[in-house]
Amino acid sequence: MPVVDIHTHVYPPSYMSLLRSRNTVPYVRTFPDAPDTSRLIILPGEDDPATPSTARGRPVGPEYYDIKQKISFMDTHGIDVSVISLANPWLDFLDPSEAGETARKINDEVNELCEQHPGRLYAFGALPLSAPAEVVVAEIERLAGLSRMRGIIMGTSGLGEGLDDPSLDPIYAALEKHQQLVFLHPHYGLPWSVYGPRANEYGHVLPLALGFPLETTIAVTRMLLSAVWDRFQSLQVLIAHSGGTLPFLAGRIESCILHDGHLAKDEKLEGRRSVWDVLKTNIYLDAVIYSEVGLKAAIDASGKDRLLFGTDNPFFPPLGGETEWLSVKTNYRAITGAFGDDADGAKGVLGDNAIRILRLSS
Amino acid sequence: MPVVDIHTHVYPPSYMSLLRSRNTVPYVRTFPDAPDTSRLIILPGEDDPATPSTARGRPVGPEYYDIKQKISFMDTHGIDVSVISLANPWLDFLDPSEAGETARKINDEVNELCEQHPGRLYAFGALPLSAPAEVVVAEIERLAGLSRMRGIIMGTSGLGEGLDDPSLDPIYAALEKHQQLVFLHPHYGLPWSVYGPRANEYGHVLPLALGFPLETTIAVTRMLLSAVWDRFQSLQVLIAHSGGTLPFLAGRIESCILHDGHLAKDEKLEGRRSVWDVLKTNIYLDAVIYSEVGLKAAIDASGKDRLLFGTDNPFFPPLGGETEWLSVKTNYRAITGAFGDDADGAKGVLGDNAIRILRLSS
């Protein structure tokens, strides 16, 4: 039974060099008081000079960039194939003039890494979203021809204005035309103030556990409200973290649309497809939800043939340094628990769905 | 089979007078260009002078304050008993010096309204949270002695600093001592900026469908992270909108806590109860989720004996003025669908659970 991990991140060496060459967020920095470790600082809120250097961002070691560690992680956890992707914030921050070239270089390097591990690694590419639309479209076309690329990973900001931005239409059209799936992943979170006056006592729990999923859900809901899937009816989007909160809130979203006097008059939404229709036709969900309750809701919302196993490696490592990761075990356990006697269902989520949807056998 | 609606709001006449007497948010205002209708403006964002008066806030008519309309709504929808509550923003905005007296007056009036409809109306009281703690505690004690009161409704701001504020401890202690259930309800939402540049094109969907549930989930997670339920192990909280997003995200919240190096060193959380334990022991959920998918997740998370039917009346009226409300039908349908052949389970959610938990037969 093949196991495929479709949510697993890599910072390839050229991306690490890029982050090391910068001196503002996002960047990798080695502080003078801890010269033996580097820290990855990806959000403005993580770079407060008042925070001790040993608590700023997160330590970044070979688990981020050494592909041998990825293979070793896969072996430990019974994962046959990984579809790797650049982690946030991808290439969103690049100067428009260099974005196209940087994207080509990094995507080529990732594709080559995958070719060096035949049958074990595939990848989602990264787009130069700060560049002019034609550069982005050209990279989508180019990615479709790379041997190990199986779609693209994208954040929620799009060209900077969100995924309901009409300027994204040529990009959605190119993704649809080349059958490139979008792996939609959060990064920007919510303003820190929403977490309240004691939020800094709670580590990273509030932004990671709640901010990320809501960022994702807002982005998808804006796509629904701007009729993206009515214009691009075969655009396929794989949503990180089992859709953020989409499976649970889909009913409330649909009901709020149906009860909104303003939207009732919006011609763009006349004859629109319902949230449920899009969930079952255009949306795939990963199985990174850490509970049977959540996983069952994801299955109910999108269908068991549209759910794909993932680990979020190298994030959420075990605090005690255990070889076997609790975060991975929890997601495995949720699949076993949710499917019970339905071995085929579990097999689908663990690997068969990914092989079919991402054409991994080809 | 008795049907009990535990999520249904009333603005009693004295509360309406209070809102009419004010000239800043929250307030009720009649604009000179539309003298025949009043508008209820409850959020700062709804009071932009650039917005035409006919689009500011929402029209407020007798469905908000005339109890006859509530009874008529109940009759139309087969609801035998309603546990009414003041809607947001309750008494959060009152001057500390007047809050205690206003709370007593409004709670007495609501209790009297219920007494005028024996067997059909009960209520959750409102607390004078801006007043000194002893005034709040005194009102909790007083409410416990009122004939139709069955708990209190509270927003997410608490005394202004959120529900993880240690200053709430005497209030939680009083609620626990008098076995007063807290109906936790959102109001404040998220900063408008999180919804993106085109958010004003989408009516109220983003803040209502996503902001409200996340506000609720943040509030509950802060209670978990500050060990409220470890200190007050029998504090009972009924969470609006099926817990916001709690059932779906509980696994992610628990996993983020278990993987957070900072929290691992927090003595307050040593031996803490897990999110799942609290969900099944201290949390009740309403069934206002508008989908079978969401309802099943709520059942899986808390248990079918902890879920209670609600309508959110007078909000989400049908756009076409139909007598039977789509929002109510959708929630009825979700219960029928989720329980299938389990008639007892459905009966529990529709009424039996509320009767037992809120002692409605007494």
Q: What is the pLDDT of residue B56?
A: 86
Least Cα separation, residue B29 to chain A (angstroms) = 21
In whole angstroms, what is the distance from residue B280 CA to residue B102 CA? 35
- The closest alpha carbon to B310, from B345, B340, B275, B334, belongs to B334
The token duo for A84 is 């790797």
Which H/E stretch holds residue B36?
none
CB contact under 8 A, A209 and B294: no
Interface test mutation site (partner A, options B164, B245, B288, B328, max chain A beta carbons within 10 A): B245
The structural domains of chain B, ordered by start, are 4-10+64-358 (3.20.20.140)
**A347 burial via Cβ count (<10 Å: 0-12, 13-18, 19+):** middle
Q: Enumerate the residues of chain A whose CB falls inside 8 A of the CB of residue B330.
A: 251, 255
The token duo for A191 is 């303003």
Whether the CB-CB separation of B201 and A224 falls below 8 Å is answered with no
In whole angstroms, what is the distance from residue A86 CA to residue A187 CA? 12
Q: What is the pLDDT of residue B319?
A: 94
In whole angstroms, what is the distance from residue B258 CA to residue B265 CA? 11
- The closest alpha carbon to B43, from B26, B23, B60, belongs to B26
Tell me which chain A residue has its CA closest to the CA of residue B330: A255
Tell me which chain B residue has its CA closest to the CA of residue A328: B255
Least Cα separation, residue A170 to chain B (angstroms) = 19
Kindly state the percentage of chain B with pLDDT values over 90: 92
Interface test mutation site (partner A, options B198, B226, B249, B315, max chain A beta carbons within 10 A): B249
Per-position DSSP letters for A229-266, written without gaps between them: HHHSTT--EEEHHHHTTHHHHHHHHHHHHHT-HHHHT-
CB contact under 8 A, B291 and A251: yes
Bigger pLDDT: A153 or B49?
A153
Interface test mutation site (partner A, options B195, B204, B256, max chain A beta carbons within 10 A): B256
Q: Enumerate the residues of chain A whose CB falls inside 8 A of the CB of residue B318.
A: 259
CB contact under 8 A, B162 and A326: no
Q: Which residue has the tokens 């209820």?
A: B40
Residues B192-229: tens digit of each pLDDT? 999 999 998 999 999 999 999 999 999 999 999 999 99
CB contact under 8 A, A209 and B301: no
In whole angstroms, what is the distance from residue A195 CA to residue A209 CA? 12
Helix (H, G, I), strand (E, B) or coil at A39: strand
| Adjacency order of strands within the sheet including B27-29 | B27-29, B38-41, B58-60
- The closest alpha carbon to A324, from A67, A66, A73, belongs to A73
Confidence check: pLDDT of B43 > 90: no
In whole angstroms, what is the distance from residue B149 CA to residue B165 CA? 26
CB contact under 8 A, B191 and A191: yes
Helix pair angle (B292-302, A246-258), 10° resolution = 140
A135-to-A141, A160, A174 alpha-carbon distances in Å = 10, 16, 12
Tell me which chain B residue has its CA closest to the CA of residue A334: B251
Q: What is the pTM of this model?
A: 0.97
Q: What is the pLDDT of residue B362?
A: 45
Q: What is the pLDDT of residue A57?
A: 87
Whether the CB-CB separation of A165 and A223 falls below 8 Å is answered with no
Confidence check: pLDDT of A291 > 80: yes
Could you say which of A209, A251, A260 has the minimum Cβ distance to residue B294?
Answer: A251
Please report which confidence band the pLDDT of residue A99 belongs to, taking 50, 70 and 90 as the band edges: very high
Confidence check: pLDDT of A272 > 90: yes
In whole angstroms, what is the distance from residue A301 CA to residue A317 CA? 29
CB contact under 8 A, B210 and A217: yes
Q: Enumerate the residues of chain B whose CB falls inside 8 A of the CB of residue A197.
A: 161-162
Q: What is the pLDDT of residue A362?
A: 45
Q: Which residue has the tokens 């010096």?
A: B97
Least Cα separation, residue B230 to chain A (angstroms) = 16
**Residue A89 one-letter amino acid:** P
- Kindly provide the ipTM of the predicted complex, given to two decimals: 0.97
Please report which confidence band the pLDDT of residue B57 belongs to, taking 50, 70 and 90 as the band edges: confident
In whole angstroms, what is the distance from residue B39 CA to residue A230 CA? 35
The token duo for B67 is 């109890």
The token duo for A161 is 């204005």
Residues A341-350: tens digit of each pLDDT? 999 999 999 9
Number of cross-chain residue pairs from A and B with Cβ atoms under 8 Å apart:
244
Least Cα separation, residue B116 to chain A (angstroms) = 32
CB contact under 8 A, A249 and B249: no
Q: Enumerate the residues of chain A whose CB falls inside 8 A of the CB of residue B297.
A: 247-248, 293-294, 296-297
Residues B254-306: tens digit of each pLDDT? 999 999 999 999 999 999 999 999 999 999 999 999 999 999 999 999 999 99
Tell me which chain B residue has its CA closest to the CA of residue A166: B198
A226-to-A176, A189, A243, A267 alpha-carbon distances in Å = 17, 21, 18, 11
